[in-house]
Amino acid sequence: MLNEYVYCPRLFYLEYVQREWAENLEVVEGRYVHRRADAAAGRVPTRAAAVTSETAIHARSVEVGSEELGALAIIDVLESDNGELVPVDYKRGAAPDTPEGAWEPERIQVCLQGLLLRANGYASSYGVIYYAADKTRARVDFTPALVARTLQLLADARALAASGVAPPPLVHSNKCPRCSLVGICLPDEINHLRKAEASAPAPTDAAPLPTEAPAPDASAPLPAPSRREVRRLMPARDDNKAVYVQGQGYTLGLKGDVLEIRDKAQTVDAARLLEVGQVNLFGNVQISAQALRQLASRETPILHLSYGGWLQAVTTPPPHKNIELRRRQFQAASDPALCLQLAKGFVGGKIRNSRLMLRRNGRALPQEALTQLAALRSVAERSDTLASLLGVEGSAARAYFEYFPAMFKLPPEEAPPFDFTGRNRRPPKDPVNALLSFGYSLLVKELLVALIGVGFDPYLGFYHQPRYGRPALALDLMEEFRPLVADSVVITVINNGEIGPSDFIERAGAFALKASGRKAFIEAFERRLDQLVTHPVFGYQVSYRRIFEIQARLLARTIMGEIPRYIPFTTR
C-alpha cells in the first residue's frame, strides 16, 4: 500500500482504509505477470547468519514483516548476492526513461522491503525492479536519502489512515484515466462540485457534517463544466448484464464458467459468469450451491423476487468493508437538518422530472398542469420539516398522475383497457397501476444494488423513515428516477404496443402481469437502463444504470463532507 500512497494518497485511502477495490485491464495484466511470483516456492534461511556469500537463494512470494516498522510485505522474488538478500519487485510495464531507472513509488516500495529484511536481521543494500514489458532489471540502491524518504512516507501514510479523512482528489492528473478506482474516486466530478460551490468545506478538515454550514438550495443551478474540467473517465455502460429467470421450477446451475438456466435436464439459456452483473430469480426458481458460491465470490448480487415481482431477499457477499461510510450514514440520519436538506433534493428532483415528462410527452396538456408542478417544487424547496415535505410530495404526485394519461398515444379503439384515473398501489386496480407497481419494484432493486455496492446500509434512509423490511435509502434515491425510468418504460410499452390487454390477468378487481407481460416489460426496462443520457451536472453521456452508481457515490461524498450538497439527477 505504500506504493499507492506515494502514487496518490487518495488511492491509498480508498484501498487501505475504505477497502475499495476495482479492476481494469492493467490490474488483470499485472496479475498475469505476477502469476509465477505469486506462487510460493523456494526457501529462505530462518537465521540471518546462515546467509553467506556461498548461499544461493531464489524464493518467490516471501512474506516479511516488522512490528517496529509497523509494516508487512510480500516480496515477489527474493534473491541472494554475496551474503545479502535482494528483493525483486515485478512490474507489468516497461522501464521508464529516468535517471533513477524507476518511478519513485516503485523505488519506495522495494526500499521498504529491504528495510523489513534488515529489521529481521538480514543484510540488504539494494533491490531490483523487474519490468516485464521490456525484460529490464533496474537496480535500486538503498541510500540514506532513500531510506529517510521511505520512513517519512511510511509515517505519513500511517497518519493519514488514522485521520479518518480522505484526501482530496488529484486535479486534472494524467494518473487518473489509468487508475482502476477512477469510477469510485470520481476525481473530476468532485473537484467540479467543490469548485462550483463557494461554500464547500475542505475535505481535509476534521470531517464536520455538512449541516454545520447553512444548507444551500438543493435546486440551485451549477455552472456547466468544460470538457477539460470533467472528463468521462469511466465506461459509459456496464458491460455486465442482468440475468432474469422467470420459469417456475427452473434451476440456475453452473457448468465451468457458464451459468446455465435449466428446465429439468434441458438447458434453456446460458450466460458467461464474467458477463453477469446481477441475477434476478422470480418465484420458485432454484439456484445451485456451486452457482451461488461463484456469484458471491465475484460480488454479483442475487435478487429473489416474488412471482409478481416484489423484492423478497438479496444474496450478497459479506457487507462492504467501508464501515467509515456506514458510521457517517447513521450519524447523518440522526441529524434532522441534514435529513431535510437531502430529502428536499430527492423530492425536488422527482417533481422536476415529473414536470419534464409531462411537458415532453403530454398531448393537449393544460398549462396549469406544468404551472402547478413548478409551484409545488418551489414549495418543496421551502419546506422546513419532513412532514410538510411529505405533504408537498403527495400533492405533486396527485397532480402528476392526474395528467398521466395525456402521455398515452393510443388510437381511441385501443385506449379503454388502459384507462387511468389515479395511482393506487396494492392491489393495482387497473393495468396501468399494475405496470407502475412492477416498474417501481424493478427500479428499487436496481438502486438497492447500487447502494450496497457503494457501501451504504440500504435500510436506513434520510427521507423515508426506517421501517422493518423497507429499503428506505433505496426508496430515497429512487425518487428522482421514478419518472425518468419506471414511468417512461410504462409509457413506452403502452404506446408501442409491446404490452396489451392480453398480457394481464384480473382477479377480484385486481390486475397483475402475466409471464409474457413481465418478459416484455423487463426487456423494455433493460433497454431504458442501457440508454445513454447526458449527465446534467458533468456533461458526459453514460447509461442510466451507470448514473445510479454515480448518484449513489455522490450521496456518499456528501455525507462524508467531501462535497457540500447532493445534486439530484434531472434532465433538461
Please provide the DSSP assignment of 87-105 as one string.
Answer: EEEEESSPPPSSTTSS-HH
* 526 located within any domain: no
Is the pLDDT at 212 greater than 50, yes or no? Answer: no
d(C-alpha 327, C-alpha 342), whole Å: 17
Furthest C-alpha separation in the chain: 96
Sequence length of the chain is: 572
% residues pLDDT > 90 (the chain): 60
Query: Residue 86, SS3?
Result: strand
Domain of 98, CATH number, reads 3.90.320.10
Same domain? For 7 and 152 the reply is yes
Helix (H) or strand (E) holding 278: strand 276-282
d(C-alpha 341, C-alpha 209), whole Å: 12
Same domain? For 152 and 258 the reply is no
Domain, as residue range, for 105: 2-163
d(C-alpha 11, C-alpha 21), whole Å: 10
Is the pLDDT at 226 greater than 60, yes or no? Answer: no
Boundary of a domain, candidates 266, 282, 315: 315
Residue 467 corresponds to which cell in the numbers above?
421501517
Summarize the chain as % helix, strand, coil (round to 5): 45, 15, 40
* 125 located within any domain: yes
Same domain? For 155 and 7 the reply is yes
Q: What is the mean pLDDT of residues 99-104?
A: 91
Annotate 307-340 with b (16+ C-beta within 10 A) or e (fewer).
ebbebeebebeeebebebbeebbeebbebeebbb
Top pLDDT among 7 and 509 is at 7
* 106 located within any domain: yes
94, 18, 88, 93: which is closest to 57 by C-alpha? 88
Same domain? For 106 and 253 the reply is no
Contact 339, 210 (CB under 8 A): no
d(C-alpha 109, C-alpha 153), whole Å: 10
Of 109-123, 155-169, 258-272, 309-323, where does mean pLDDT reach its minimum? 309-323
d(C-alpha 479, C-alpha 321), whole Å: 27
pLDDT at 413: 66
Query: Residue 534, SS3?
Result: strand
Same domain? For 157 and 246 the reply is no
Same domain? For 157 and 258 the reply is no
Contact 116, 71 (CB under 8 A): yes
**Mean pLDDT for the chain?**
88
Boundary of a domain, candidates 110, 141, 163: 163
344, 302, 301, 333: which is closest to 320 by C-alpha? 301
Tens digit of pLDDT for each residue in 151-163? Answer: 999 999 999 999 9
d(C-alpha 19, C-alpha 116), whole Å: 24
Contact 406, 365 (CB under 8 A): yes
Same domain? For 123 and 252 the reply is no
* 76 located within any domain: yes
* 268 located within any domain: yes
* 86 located within any domain: yes
Task: Write the DSSP string, 3-65.
Answer: HHHHH-HHHHIIIIIS------HHHHHHHHHTTTTTS-BS---SSGGG--TT---EEEEEEEE
pLDDT at 146: 96
Is the pLDDT at 374 greater than 70, yes or no? Answer: yes
Same domain? For 47 and 157 the reply is yes
Burial status of residue 256 (CB atoms within 10 A of its CB: 0-12, 13-18, 19 or more): exposed
Of 32-36, 381-385, 499-503, 565-569, where does mean pLDDT reach its minimum? 32-36
Number of domains making up the chain: 2
* 341 located within any domain: no
Burial status of residue 49 (CB atoms within 10 A of its CB: 0-12, 13-18, 19 or more): exposed
Same domain? For 130 and 22 the reply is yes
The strand pairing partners of 287, in sequence order, are: 252
pLDDT at 204: 40
Boundary of a domain, candidates 139, 163, 187: 163
The strand pairing partners of 128, in sequence order, are: 88, 139
* 48 located within any domain: yes
Same domain? For 18 and 149 the reply is yes
Separation in Å, CA 85 to CA 31, 40, 514, 562: 24, 17, 70, 44
The strand pairing partners of 325, in sequence order, are: none
Same domain? For 9 and 156 the reply is yes
Same domain? For 25 and 146 the reply is yes
